Amino acid sequence: MVPLLARTIALGLFHVKCKDIFQNPKGHEHDLLALCCIDKTMNGWNLERVASICRERCGGQGYLSVNKFGDYLAIAHAGLTAEGDNRVLMVKICKDMMTNIRKNGFKLPQMSQCPFRQIAKADDITTLQTLLDLLKYRETVLYNQLVEGNKKMLQEGKSSYNILMRETSDVMQGLAMVYGER
């Protein structure tokens, strides 16, 4: 339960940050929509997971209406599909990221430590900076995999729609999630 609580607190703080950026988007004009999309998806999935696990941990008592788990699950499921399915929003995040990097001069996140020369040889990889660098590395790898895969499939004559919705969906979901986690 402690990891769920920690994640819920972190996502709550992220939600507050997104609301602050929404009120004053200066400096975030190009990634404001992506921040709102990842905030919605991650918080919706977290609510569903927390409500399900709490109901399960309560056993038969979890089914009683007084505990409100049924209400929370209904709200979570509505949030997962309302205003656009979360998986579709994850694709939007990736498309926006690609546009911002290609056309708006954004750069992929820069690591302070090399994952091969420094992190691989480190005695302790649990420091916040190291964990952040690992997330940045994963984001960079997935982004490059997505771009290279798209380019190769376009050259093979596959349609943009099929590439987007069928061929690269798993990579996009992972990329959007690591973007949100970072």
Per-residue pLDDT tens over the stretch 121-157: 888 888 889 999 999 999 999 999 999 998 998 888 8
Cβ neighbour number for residue 141 with a 10 Å cutoff? 16
Q: Place 83 in a pLDDT band, splitting at 50, 70 and 90.
A: low
Where do the domains of the chain lie?
1-84, 90-182
Is 75's pLDDT higher than 90?
Answer: no
pTM summary value = 0.81
